[in-house]
Structure 1
């Protein structure tokens, strides 16, 4: 069951670092925050030395003054446990707490996240500072909740200290029970890797071939996730005990961490850090990438954990670290646009990062809403506009849910295995981008849904169509789940390299796509990587007499029909497998199972959307340009239709019925201009509800 933040109105706030500034600035800062309609701040996540300047010496007077002043200005406070940056006295006295590279190099003090989760001493000291803080602030009227640590597994998500190797062995003992079972799961008979004593077992280490055992590598990621969760749970349990009236969250979605399990076990809701400009630095390889709009895919992933969540850090300025600025300044209107991008996708609480740009340290080029000079600027004006708007609409939007009938399926095992396995890992990123981009341009809302061990058919049936691009690891249970979904009317779409591994990452001794073969009614009789002497084959739709110019990208599964009821929708039109099936459809009960033997390129996805009959939910009354993102947050009686223009020019919207716009209160009809980086929220009553 998903856990969501529960608010009566949208909340706007900012991350604040009083330890960076003269105390004389605090009151003016808080006064101006309130003028901007901000009501919440996050503090203290990097302030361990202020609370504990020497081992077992605790001082709270500094933050007592901060919190008392915040309370005077009616600002709610999120306290961060400061365990992301251990003090210098700690790492000097207890070097065993430091993280170590795979090659055995110790990461020394001087940045952040340089500790390991397994060190008994570090866990002891983290538990102590968490308890001291919770005891001290449990009754403070300003404090409403806690953020555990900061961005777990950010910057680094692998850990190789001696304590980690020891913890890994204990984790494996609990998982497998015996070395016999471990050797079987890891296929250790290959290359004579069989273990005869637990002391021989380690996390992956440098090897001659630079290629560790793939099954060991998969278990390593599972261990890191479980170990990270246990580290966070240590703190969460203490806060629950000492401050039961406060909520608990943590921020960010990073590698080798099952954020769903983390939230299920200990959080009240999930929090995310939203920096859309990262998508302009790593835009993907396709032409005309979505850039900052692509960040909506990340926000959709966060929504899969908590349908209503917190954005603990929302980008408000250009970004950069240490000696470089890597991101352009937001254009006028973009900061507001990105704020509504987060809100559209489920954020009910949002804090800008940060109040004022740091003048010291690693983040001197990571800008906040205030510049160094602390004078008014256009970002402050935008924040004020947003604050005023959210004060007006916050009670209407809070708690409404994003609506989608299409979902992209993911699971952690395939993400982690695909990170190492270059056969199927890169295909997933390409295919997800292809689907997401085309659905965006056609104004078809889409969710991201993570399959888990306890997923049910009923949960899947929220959607009409599920896209599971390249699930190499496929269990019998997952295949049965998806079969049940199709039998009850759902459409499931697979891509190349589906179903050839078991849960350990072993390749199956059965025709591909393994457990999904019966569902799809096909097998894979041949395959090839598109590389070297084999180019991507052309594609021909069977309802057309001519081959298209479309190419079957990246990898080609050559399909063989095993069930006479399977419909061949497209065949390869070139290469040595010309004429063989590439796209098939099988009716399954009330639904359908599709298999496409390649990676999903944008042109192919566009045609597939047509074959699947997917339509925009607003196509009957709203005409939108491709540049505008459409999304819907819905209450019991009303749809709130967000329109976000990511472009630097005005876009025309056409309506065939008069509609009220939420932010302005205006009635819109016929042709309406959406300005550059503009936002509109249309109000549409559901069928049967009086307008």
Structure 2
């Protein structure tokens, strides 16, 4: 089995992307001195260095990298060594201009940014394999090497190419997936609009068409593009495994649902030795710590619940949003430790020293433009000390309470053209349901719809437009065996080819939910409806979507009070076997979601956690070394977190019994006794 933890790393990972090629070598000695001061344990090196390592075809210059790795090793800093295949050198593109990707409208990108790659291009694949082989042969057993870092943020910013090379590759992929053109015609429903093919050679990528194209073709092209990129990762990974055995291989994911939607991370998680992730706050006025928790939970879930590693985040502001505010004092540490609470084995940043030139020169760093006499640097040093104090949590696992189902294929399908309402957004529903669970102080695992769900008392389905028959059977079995299921509208509608399930909606879920949906009735922009519940329960507000629901075994718990669906069921509950299935047929506001979740949680036997204030986050990590309670206070007021078991607070060394005081904006980590 491949190694799954960074080789030789005995502490939590702390450091960042180190790009010394941007600086004269005279700065390197200062860098390693500051790394020691800050408690840096690992840095990522060489990610964007192909042009320096191979300045001309087949001519390699490793001298500077030799000196750098030796210097880092001498100073006790482990190395996450990159294969620089995200940015081929300009000479490569001059020799192979067809390796630059083409957009759906036929525009070919130019050199001058990053990630401008046609992943089907044979010349790119060969060149990437050569530079990876040279690096593995030279550094595969270097004493500083902790792990390999392939490429960088696959799928960002280019996730698909539409050139002729990709067209030929797509046809080969279809032949492998379907066997015959008749099978493709059946899967894609090409009888509609006369799109039938008589040979695979007639099929092109879904390029720009006069109106909406074939949705099943577009969905398959997303699968093809994802698989093609993953092929390139696997090719590099296998070279590294062969030439550098015993060293784990990773690539940095971007699981935050708002930042990358082009890769199926369930599939990618099975290919890396260690799941790593990059996360940057989207400062759009929402509670950024909730999205952070969601991204961390999703990353841990992609890792199968195993420890993972935050490989990039920012010390303060980023540089690529319309407005890039600084982080508040203490926020960097709180953000970092929130990832650790949810399973990360450390906190890494982009980047170590803030650039003076280039597109990201205003992106914050561990060593900012102002140097060491800055708030950011002082907080970096403090965070290094805190992570040092938490070394014993390595290898422990975050304890979940509930599961949320998520499938990238369903997201891809729902986001295609001509759906009933452009106001229905799968990611928005996932965000909203997650936030409601977060506010009930429940820790979430994400799960694939066909995964084993038996360990979870409550499973939530916020948006699964695409659902296979196997997934439908899985959820029925889960409920029959005693589980509690909560499903939101427009789920279970189509199969894996974007074909509507036979019979009434919601095809894959109608039996487990005990109902059918006669018709969708989306609302116009600005419209809303009221939903009325049992006696004495206040009305709930809803918008975007309503449905004509017909109970077929389910009981009506809330009904529509107005609109076209007035008098019809809005929220239902169905007893099936030993369990219960809830259905929400409209977009409820936050208080409405909480009200329904409260009922579903009661069915699931999940007690309310009323002793915890809003935005005070409590997460448990457990393992052979013990049980650790992380309490993170995202508010401006001191908070008391109750403790059922006394313990020792690791950041202060103080004993805690009955409760632990968490100052405003601070974090406390208690090793519970026993």
| Aligned counterparts, 1:307-318, within 5 A | 307=305, 308-318=307-317
Structure 1 residues 5 and 558 mapped into 2: Cα distance closer, same or farther (>3 Å)? farther
Q: Which runs of 5 or more residues in structure 2 are unaligned? A: 255-259
1:405-440 CA distances to partner (integer Å, 9 max, x unpaired)? Answer: 211111122111122254478342232222222222
Native 8 Å contact 2:646 2:672 kept in 1:
no
The answer on 1:522 being equivalent to 2:515 is yes
1:87 pairs with one of 82, 86, 89 = 89
1:553 pairs with one of 519, 543, 549 = 543
Native 8 Å contact 1:293 1:646 kept in 2:
no
1:25-64 CA distances to partner (integer Å, 9 max, x unpaired)? Answer: 1122112112211111110010001110000111211100
Alpha-carbon separation, structure 1, partners of 2:465 and 2:643: 44
Alpha-carbon separation, structure 2, partners of 1:354 and 1:520: 49
Q: Partner residue of 1:118?
A: 120
Alpha-carbon separation, structure 1, partners of 2:370 and 2:462: 49
Alpha-carbon separation, structure 1, partners of 2:376 and 2:292: 20
Native 8 Å contact 1:427 1:599 kept in 2:
no
1:492-522 CA distances to partner (integer Å, 9 max, x unpaired)? Answer: 1111112221210012330111121111111
1:489 offset after TM fit, Å?
1.6
1:293 pairs with one of 290, 293, 311 = 290
**For 1:484, what is the secondary structure of its paired residue?**
helix
Q: Partner residue of 2:257?
A: none
**Which one is further off, 307-316 or 146-155?**
307-316
The answer on 1:258 being equivalent to 2:248 is no
1:643-684 CA distances to partner (integer Å, 9 max, x unpaired)? Answer: 112234444545687553222122335676533321112333
Alpha-carbon separation, structure 2, partners of 1:346 and 1:523: 40
Q: Partner residue of 2:318?
A: 319
**Which one is further off, 375-384 or 126-135?**
375-384
Alpha-carbon separation, structure 2, partners of 1:535 and 1:24: 64
Alpha-carbon separation, structure 2, partners of 1:317 and 1:489: 46
Q: Partner residue of 2:358?
A: 361
Q: Partner residue of 1:609?
A: 597
| Aligned counterparts, 1:587-626, within 5 A | 587-613=575-601, 623-626=611-614
Q: Partner residue of 2:558?
A: 570
The answer on 1:235 being equivalent to 2:236 is yes
**For 2:518, what is the secondary structure of its paired residue?**
strand
TM-score (norm 1): 0.91
Q: Partner residue of 2:342?
A: 345
1:336 pairs with one of 333, 337, 359 = 333
The answer on 1:380 being equivalent to 2:377 is yes
**For 1:374, what is the secondary structure of its paired residue?**
coil
Native 8 Å contact 1:430 1:601 kept in 2:
no
**For 2:587, what is the secondary structure of its paired residue?**
coil
1:385 offset after TM fit, Å?
1.4
Native 8 Å contact 1:569 1:584 kept in 2:
yes
**Which one is further off, 154-163 or 46-55?**
154-163
Structure 1 residues 84 and 628 mapped into 2: Cα distance closer, same or farther (>3 Å)? same
Q: Partner residue of 1:244?
A: 245
Native 8 Å contact 1:98 1:161 kept in 2:
no
| Aligned counterparts, 1:494-509, within 5 A | 494-509=487-502
Number of aligned positions between the proteins: 662
1:543-589 CA distances to partner (integer Å, 9 max, x unpaired)? Answer: 3167x3312332112211222xx322121122233222121112222
Native 8 Å contact 1:521 1:562 kept in 2:
yes
Alpha-carbon separation, structure 1, partners of 2:473 and 2:619: 32
| Aligned counterparts, 1:424-573, within 5 A | 426-452=424-450, 455=451, 459-531=452-524, 535-541=527-533, 543-544=534-535, 548-563=538-553, 566-573=554-561
Q: Partner residue of 1:286?
A: none
Structure 1 residues 618 and 78 mapped into 2: Cα distance closer, same or farther (>3 Å)? farther
**For 2:364, what is the secondary structure of its paired residue?**
coil
TM-score (norm 2): 0.93
Alpha-carbon separation, structure 2, partners of 1:2 and 1:494: 38
Q: Partner residue of 2:650?
A: 662
**Which one is further off, 568-577 or 25-34?**
568-577
1:228 offset after TM fit, Å?
0.9
Alpha-carbon separation, structure 2, partners of 1:42 and 1:498: 41
1:599 offset after TM fit, Å?
2.7
**For 1:31, what is the secondary structure of its paired residue?**
helix
Structure 1 residues 68 and 150 mapped into 2: Cα distance closer, same or farther (>3 Å)? same
The answer on 1:392 being equivalent to 2:389 is yes
Q: Partner residue of 2:30?
A: 28
Alpha-carbon separation, structure 2, partners of 1:360 and 1:264: 37
Structure 1 residues 671 and 122 mapped into 2: Cα distance closer, same or farther (>3 Å)? closer
**For 2:572, what is the secondary structure of its paired residue?**
strand
**For 2:592, what is the secondary structure of its paired residue?**
helix
Q: Which runs of 5 or more residues in structure 1 are unaligned? A: 284-288
Native 8 Å contact 1:51 1:58 kept in 2:
yes
